[in-house]
Amino acid sequence: MTDADCSRQVSAVFSGFVCHLEKEADIRDNLRISVKDVEKLSRELIVGLSEIHLSQSASRIVPEIYSQAEDRLANIRKVIQELIVKVPLDQYYVFHESWKYVFQKLVLGIALVVYLKECRVATLEEVAQAIGVKSDRKNGFHLDLEDYLFGLLNLASELSRYCVNRVTAGDYKSPEKIFTFISELGSGFRLLNLKNNELRRRFDSLKYDEKKVEEVIYDLSVRGLLNKSSASGAVEEKSADSSSMQE
């Protein structure tokens, strides 16, 4: 092969790469528009939900917050449908980085509403349905499992903050419920075989969220602001769980 032939062969190979990369860049630019819209709406959702930290009455929060969240989610679903049609078939994970953090934020918002409304964890299927995507990767554009798990870990942080604000508002019952929920969430995560990656590191912070709520309850019990049985339970839990926090 002559030098000219070699040069033409190399040029032919890389010309194909140029076309592929340009096409992928065009898709990313197109996706960025829809992702930006979803991000704006998700930010409005989270800002609206942040009003729970300002309310003096927990019982009056849920109906209004839930109604506003549903309206915002309806708009989010519409924009996500526009996003879905822009993603080429079988290339979900090629462009997943474009929307993963936005979806994690949406998981947080939906899971927070479900907790406030029903005091339970939102399932992956529920969250996927709420934002208008599939829950199983086999069915196409879906909510990635790791994004769902990151959202739940973010929920724990949000609830630990909420716990402190409820006490400030004179609500001494919510912290115990929050502690039970976060503890059960932590137990669930411990069942998973998390590798030493970003999700594992983020899970480590859940232990501190749990400890933060635990200390609030312990402080309430010392101050005599919980009933005797609750105070006794809080002291026992603090003692029993202190070792697990060091795992």
Average the pLDDT over 37-50 and give the result: 94
pTM assigned to the model: 0.82
The CATH number assigned to the domain holding 193 equals: 1.20.58.200
Q: Please write the tens of the pLDDT for every residue from 126-152.
A: 999 999 999 999 989 999 999 999 999
pLDDT at 233: 44
d(CA 167, CA 163): 6
- Give Cβ neighbours of residue 27 (< 8 Å, ≥ 6 apart): 86, 87, 88, 95
* 5 shares its domain with 103: yes
* 130 shares its domain with 58: yes
Q: Please write the tens of the pLDDT for every residue from 63-81.
A: 777 888 899 999 999 999 9
Average the pLDDT over 202-212 and give the result: 92
Residue that finishes a domain, picked among 135, 152, 172:
135
Position 226 pLDDT exceeds 80: no
Contact yes or no for 142/96 (Cβ under 8 A): no
Contact yes or no for 230/180 (Cβ under 8 A): no
Distances 58 to 64, 173, 196 between C-alpha atoms, Å: 11, 10, 38
